[in-house]
């Protein structure tokens, strides 16, 4: 059975002291025999610190971003190989904050995916509609268009290594979660779209939900048949909330 993925995206938060407290708590409640895989995506500068804490535990390391080039004059950037040096397994790509605040194009996102897969890391591709698109009833069309645009560049063989995170932009950091039905509706469309392209390639595809996930809504969301885990921002910075989500998910899918 594929593991439920719970990915903590710390975004630009944390400090050496705060991370240490959070990681100690995570080490206490996480369990390598669990049905869920817990992944921490810290800011790059804290990657070494996180690696030192999680070594030997079931917790995995992820990155929030990567550059699409191998090496060279790219001031401030980090390569796939550098992430690999820290045993990083996952990397977020196409997060709406990067698309909107840093103008990340589809081509760059696709190039990052190609580079990550070649380097043996799993890209976590974020897709999702904004509020106006949701209100116009365009959510399903937007997510399939986002998928199609990336697949056209990277190809199906590369795309089979990708984890998808559906993150409706209107639900990110707003406290407004998609209802379990709204999320399931879109997750089902994503799975059907990909299985129509190639059922064999995509039968084990993981589709995560992200957007104001917390200890109160995680239980209902994870019961949905097409929701395979979470990408969590704010609640992943609070040990008690993360513990409650992690343990709750495990009991639902056990
Ligand atoms: P919040 O959980 O804070 O809404 O953030 C979601 C997100 O963007 C995770 O990548």
Better pLDDT: 218 or 252: 218
| Tens digit of each residue's pLDDT (9 = 90 or more) over 138-165 | 999 999 999 999 999 999 999 999 999 9
Q: Is the CB of 167 under 6 A from ligand 1?
A: yes
- Give the E-state strand segments of 53-180 in sequence order: 60-63, 88-93, 122-127, 163-166
Q: Is the CB of 211 under 6 A from ligand 1?
A: yes
pLDDT band at 253 (very low <50, low <70, confident <90, very high): low
- 70 has pLDDT over 70: yes
| Residue in 210, 216, 229, 235 to alter for ligand 1 test, most ligand atoms within 8 A of Cβ | 210
Active site residues: 95, 167
- 254 has pLDDT over 60: no
Please give the helix or strand (H or E) that residue 113 lies within, else none.
helix 106-118
Within 13 A of 162's CA, how many CA atoms are on the CB side?
29
CA 198 to centroid of ligand 1, rounded, Å: 30
- Pick from 150, 244, 243, 167: nearest CA to 207: 167
Environment class of residue 152 by beta-carbon count within 10 Å: exposed (0-12), middle (13-18) or buried (19+)? Answer: exposed
**What is the distance between the alpha carbons of residues 77 and 171, in angstroms, rounded to a whole number?**
29
Q: Is the CB of 128 under 6 A from ligand 1?
A: no
Q: Is the CB of 241 under 6 A from ligand 1?
A: no
| Tens digit of each residue's pLDDT (9 = 90 or more) over 160-183 | 999 999 999 999 988 888 899 999
What domains lie within the chain, and their CATH numbers? 4-253 (3.20.20.70)
Give the pLDDT confidence score for residue 175 in this predicted structure. Answer: 83
- 193 has pLDDT over 80: yes
**Closest atom of ligand 1 to CA, residue 95:** 10
| Residue in 5, 42, 234, 236 to alter for ligand 1 test, most ligand atoms within 8 A of Cβ | 234
Mean pLDDT on 31-35 = 79
DSSP symbol at 177? P
Give the pLDDT confidence score for residue 177 in this predicted structure. Answer: 85
Q: Is the CB of 121 under 6 A from ligand 1?
A: no
The answer to whether 189 touches 221, Cβ cutoff 8 Å, is no
CA 13 to centroid of ligand 1, rounded, Å: 12
Mean pLDDT on 27-48 = 92
Mean pLDDT on 178-198 = 96
Mean pLDDT on 94-115 = 98
CA 35 to centroid of ligand 1, rounded, Å: 22
In 3-state terms, what secondary structure has residue 204? coil
| Tens digit of each residue's pLDDT (9 = 90 or more) over 220-237 | 999 999 999 999 999 999
For ligand 1, atom 2, the nearest C-alpha belongs to 233
In this prediction the pTM is 0.96
Mean pLDDT on 83-109 = 97
197's tokens? 């392209």
- 1 has pLDDT over 80: no
Give the pLDDT confidence score for residue 121 in this predicted structure. Answer: 98
């Amino acid at each position: 059975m594929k593991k439920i993925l719970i990915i903590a995206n710390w975004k630009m938060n944390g400090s050496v002291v705060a991370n240490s407290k959070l990681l100690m708590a995570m080490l206490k409640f996480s369990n390598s025999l669990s049905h869920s895989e817990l992944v921490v995506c810290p800011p790059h500068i804290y990657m070494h610190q996180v690696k030192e804490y999680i070594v030997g535990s079931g917790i995995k390391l992820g990155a929030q971003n990567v550059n699409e080039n191998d090496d060279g004059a790219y001031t401030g950037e980090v390569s796939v190989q550098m992430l690999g040096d820290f045993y990083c397994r996952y990397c977020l790509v196409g997060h709406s904050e990067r698309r909107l605040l840093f103008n990340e194009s589809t081509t760059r996102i696709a190039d990052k995916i190609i580079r990550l897969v070649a380097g043996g890391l799993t890209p976590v591709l974020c897709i999702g509609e904004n509020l106006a698109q949701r209100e116009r009833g365009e959510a399903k069309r937007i997510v399939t268009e986002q998928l199609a645009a990336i697949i056209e560049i990277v190809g199906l063989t590369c795309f089979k290594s990708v984890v998808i995170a559906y993150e409706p932009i209107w639900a990110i950091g707003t406290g407004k979660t998609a209802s379990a039905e709204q999320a399931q509706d879109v997750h089902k469309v994503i799975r059907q779209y990909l299985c129509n392209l190639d059922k064999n390639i995509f039968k084990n595809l993981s589709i995560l939900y992200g957007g104001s996930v917390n200890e109160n809504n995680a239980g209902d969301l994870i019961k949905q048949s097409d929701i395979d885990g979470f990408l969590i921002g704010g609640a992943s910075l609070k040990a008690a909330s993360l513990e409650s989500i992690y343990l709750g998910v495990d009991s639902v899918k056990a």
